[in-house]
Every structure is written in structure tokens, then in C-alpha cells.
Amino acid sequence: MRARLERDFDRFQRELPRDFPAHVRETYGIDLTARYAGELVPHPIGKGSGQLSLNAGQLEDDAAAGLAFAVLKTVIAEDETGAQSMAAWAIHETKMKVERRPGGGGRAGWTVTWKGRGWDRSFADYLVLVRAGRDLTRAGRLLVVPSVKYHLPRLAEPFREAEYRYTTAQLAGAWREPPLLVEKDFSPTLAGDALADDRAQILRWLREVPARVRAASPIPVRVAVKLMNARFDDAFQLEMMKAAAEADALVCFNRLFDAARGVAYGGGDLSDRNLRVLETFRESPGSRPGSVGSLTPHASAGIPELTGTGNIGSGRMILEYARRGCESVQVHTFFQLPLAEYPATHGSRPQRALHALVFHPRDGLIAAMLELEARGALERRSGELRFLDLPAHAHRAG
Ligand SMILES: Cc1cc2nc3c(=O)[nH]c(=O)nc-3n(C[C@H](O)[C@H](O)[C@H](O)COP(=O)(O)O)c2cc1C
């Protein structure tokens, strides 16, 4: 199998097979099926919300590359008059700088330095993008999911329901067929904002937002909450996860915030923190999803499913998240590296990234899963190694 993997890695440098998960299954007996917000996807690698999902062309490239899903850039909610209580997040900024950012212990990592925030064009333009995403989803080419920053009130204030209602109804209208999947973003700049100084205020948002979105939607909706890395300790991260128990899925966790420079950042510090908190969550009582081993969404058992994000640049790192309970991952920075950093010689960045993440003979997903098998940490069932057994084992162990 090792020799096969070396050969596949070399020959796929020019182009990945059209249906690479089928190839992986046939050749290695590995079933990469994963899950995002209750939807089964052919493998765990999706694109996180951001500057790489701003237009239909990018989505088309993602579908052609074979990404499992893509989350659209976060739009700022508005009411029927166009008023946005979170307007401070709808700012325009195009310049991004991709930089190396080693983590603790000097481990390699990358970050994107960028001062922008949410979607900065009209909501009507966003809905055009949602429709393009819907068509790709319907065609079975790429699961596309909108992302929203809804109003977050101070403790004594009510939620602005008009913004929840109008924005969600418009998204549902564009999506048409249920269920509507929506990600709610709690961003690093929010973590750095005075609004997020108060722990009780943050916990109230997390407790109430999923139900607000559900109540606002005219069609059944699944809500994934993308949690921020708050400026408090790890114990508070855990409290946030538990407060958001009404969500269908939790995306763990958005980038860190560098208060001195006023920018969000990623790299090794981000994955260190995310993995540490997920590990603690796994070990804490009540973290076991109800759906392990079955296909029902976790929310039915009152415990959200987990999706990992942060410094994912190898299959090994995907497994680090999976072994702590994540059923899929969302990548951003690794899709932005200088071309010379990818071992593939041809193709779009999503294609080259998939090639490295899946087929790298030492650090790719296949190599890392075969290694787990050799160590006795993952067993074949009906002759196959299954990606989804990893998060399932995580919870059993926890
Ligand atoms: C330039 C940039 C813009 C981003 N914008 C958003 C956003 O609008 N909404 C959101 O939920 N996450 C946003 N993210 C976070 C990414 O989706 C991702 O979760 C995070 O960067 C961690 O993954 P990574 O280390 O692979 O970059 C952004 C990230 C970057 C680098």
C-alpha cells in the first residue's frame, strides 16, 4: 500500500482523479465519508468561510477540485429596511498577506494577515451567490452553506428579531428546498470587541441564537455555530461549547485575536489551543453525541456535531481534529499558500491542497489512517477503514 501511495502521489501531481474518494476506497479500502451539519459528504475537507468563497467562480473551482463543501463568506444580517446592527463588520478591505507563523515549539505554520471583516457588497448580491451555491448543491457537485453574522445584543437588550427574520427568510427563499443550512459566525474581531468583554453576555448569545434562527426561518433549518476563541481561558471555551448545545453543529474554533496589532491570526498557536480545548471537551461528561454510529443528526440527541478549523495543512492534522470528535474540517489558509509550497505541479489551489492533504505519502490522510491501523488504533470493519470511526472512537474513549 505504501508503494501504491507513493505512485498515486506522483501521478496525481498533475491532476486528481475526478472521484478521488471512490479511488481511495477501491485502492486502499478507506471510506473517507464525513459529515457536516447532519449532511454526509464524500470526505472531510471543506472550505471555511472567508475571502475564498466570495463569488461563483471560486465555488465552481471548488466543485471541480472535489472539495466536500464550502461555506460562503459571512454576510451581515439586515432587516427589511436594510438596517444592520452589526454594520461595523461590513467593511471593505482587499489586501491580504500570507505569512509564516510558527506555533509553540517552533512548529511550522501559516497565517493570513487581513484587516477586513464581513461581506461588503449588497445583500441582493449575496443572494445571487447563495443561488449559485444552491445549484451546485442540488447537482451534487459541492455542498454550499451561507454564513451570517446576526445581531448580538448587550445583556439587557432584546435580540433584533426583524434582522433574524428578514435575513433568514431571504436565504430560505433563495435556497427553496429544506433543509436550509446556516452557519452563524462568532468572529475573532468580535472576540476582540468590547461587546465580548462580558462572559454572561456571550453565553446568552450562544444559548439563544440557534433558537432565534430556527424561529426566524420559514423552512426547517440546521444551524452550525462557529465559535470564536474568546479572550478568556480554556475553561470558558468549554462553557461556550456547552452553552451552544442547541446548535446542530459547532465549528471549533475561529482564529485567535492579536489585540496589540488589532488582527486575527492562525498558525500553530491556533491549532494548539483548538485541539487542547477539544480534548478537554471530549473528556468532559455529556460530550458524547447521540448519533455516533448512526446517521441521525446529533442535535436530535441534544448534542451538536463537531467540525474542526484552524491550521489544517496536512492529513495528520485532520486526524488530530477527528480523533477529538470532529466529523469534518474547514480549511482556509492552506488554500492560500504560494504555489511553490504545494507538491502538485498543476491545478487550482484547492486541487493542489487536496492532493497534499489526502495523498502525501508521509503526512496525508491515507498515510496517517494506515499508520493508525498499523498501531492498532483503528480497525477495519467489513474490510474498510472508516474516517467517521475516528470521531466515534473519540467519544467512546471520552
Ligand atoms: C482572510 C480570512 C477571512 C476570513 N473570513 C471569515 C468570515 O468571514 N467568516 C468566518 O466564519 N470565518 C472567516 N475566516 C476564518 C476561516 O474560515 C477559518 O475558520 C480560519 O481561518 C481557521 O482556518 P485556517 O487556519 O485554515 O485559516 C477567515 C479567515 C481568513 C484567513
- Centre of ligand 1 to C-alpha 65, Å, is 20
**Ligand 1: distance of its center to the CA of 264 in Å?**
9
Q: Which protein residue's CA is at the shortest distance from atom 2 of ligand 1?
A: 50
| Tens digit of each residue's pLDDT (9 = 90 or more) over 218-260 | 999 999 999 999 999 999 999 999 999 999 999 999 999 998 8
The arithmetic mean of pLDDT across residues 313-334, rounded, is: 97
Please tell me the distance between residue 212's alpha carbon and the centre of ligand 1 in angstroms: 24
Are 282 and 395 contacting, i.e. CB atoms less than 8 angstroms apart? Answer: yes
Paired with 180 in beta bridges are 221
Instruction: Find the 5 Cα to ligand 1 centroid distance in Å.
Output: 31
What is the reported pLDDT for 288? 57
3-state secondary structure of 367: helix
Note the pLDDT of residue 287: 65
- Looking at this protein, which amino acid is placed at residue 94? T
The pLDDT value recorded for residue 107 is 78
pLDDT at 170: 98
Which ligand 1 atom is the nearest neighbour of the CA of 251?
Answer: 19
Q: How confident is the model at residue 380 (pLDDT cuts 50, 70, 90)?
A: very high
Between the CA of 82 and the centroid of ligand 1 the distance, in Å, is 25
Band of the pLDDT at 302, cuts 50, 70, 90?
low
Residues 66-79: tens digit of each pLDDT: 999 999 999 999 99
CA 265-357-369 angle, to 5 degrees, is: 120
The one-letter amino acid at 124: A
Residue in 36, 47, 49 to alter for ligand 1 test, most ligand atoms within 8 A of Cβ: 49
Section 197-226 average pLDDT: 96
Q: Distance (Å, rounded) from C-alpha 356 to C-alpha 363?
A: 8
Distance 228 CA to ligand 1 centre (A): 11
- Lining ligand 1 with CB less than 6 A are 48-51, 73-74, 96, 112, 114, 118, 147, 185, 187, 226, 254-255, 266, 270, 309-312, 330-334
DSSP letters along 187-215, please? -HHHHTSGGGG-HHHHHHHHHHHHHHHHH
Q: DSSP assignment, residue 282?
A: H
- Rounded to whole angstroms, how far apart are CA atoms 267 and 98? 11
Q: Which of 11-25, 192-206, 237-251, 377-391 has the lowest mean pLDDT?
A: 192-206
Confidence of residue 265 (pLDDT cuts 50, 70, 90): very high
Residue 1 to residue 76: CA distance in whole angstroms: 48
> Residue 398 has what pLDDT?
42
Output the pTM of the full model: 0.95
Residue 94 predicted with pLDDT over 80: no
* Residues composing the chain: 398
Q: Which amino acid is at 212?
A: R
For residue 50, the CA-to-ligand 1 centroid distance in Å is: 5
268-301 tens-digit pLDDT: 999 999 999 999 998 887 665 543 333 334 444 4
Element (H, E) at 146: strand 143-149
The rounded Å distance from CA 371 to ligand 1 centre is 30
pLDDT of residue 90: 80
Q: Which of 296, 325, 317 is closest to 397 using CA atoms?
A: 325
DSSP H or E run through 57: helix 56-65
State the number of CA atoms in the 13 A half-sphere of 267 facing the CB: 21
Atom nearest to 331 CA in ligand 1: 26
What is the number of other CB atoms lying within 10 angstroms of the CB of residue 11? 11
What is the residue with the minimal CA distance to atom 28 of ligand 1? Answer: 50
Instruction: Characterise 99 by phi-psi region: left (phi > 0), alpha (psi -120 to 50), beta (else).
Output: beta
3 state DSSP class of 385:
strand
The ligand 1 atom at the shortest distance from the C-alpha of residue 226 is 11
305 vs 258: CA distance, rounded Å:
29
Crossing angle for the helix pair 365-374 and 2-11, to the nearest 10 degrees: 180
What is the per-residue pLDDT for 294? 37
- Choice from 332, 336, 354 to test ligand 1 binding pocket (greatest atom count within 8 A of CB): 332
pLDDT, tens only, 324-339: 999 999 999 999 999 9
Query: Sign of the C-alpha dihedral, residues 119, 123, 129, 131?
Result: positive
pLDDT band for 395, please (50, 70, 90 cuts): low
Span from the CA of 51 to the centroid of ligand 1 (angstroms): 8
Nearest CA, atom 31, ligand 1 = 112
pLDDT digits (tens, 9 = 90+) for 25-75: 999 999 999 999 999 999 999 999 999 999 999 999 999 999 999 999 999
Q: pLDDT, tens digit, for every residue of 109-168?
A: 899 988 878 899 999 999 999 999 999 999 999 999 999 999 999 988 999 999 999 999
With the most atoms of ligand 1 within 8 angstroms of its CB, the residue from 250, 254, 320, 321 to mutate is 254
Pairing mode of beta strands 256-258, 45-47: unpaired
What is the model's pLDDT at position 233?
94
Is the bond preceding residue 179 a cis peptide, omega within 30 degrees?
yes
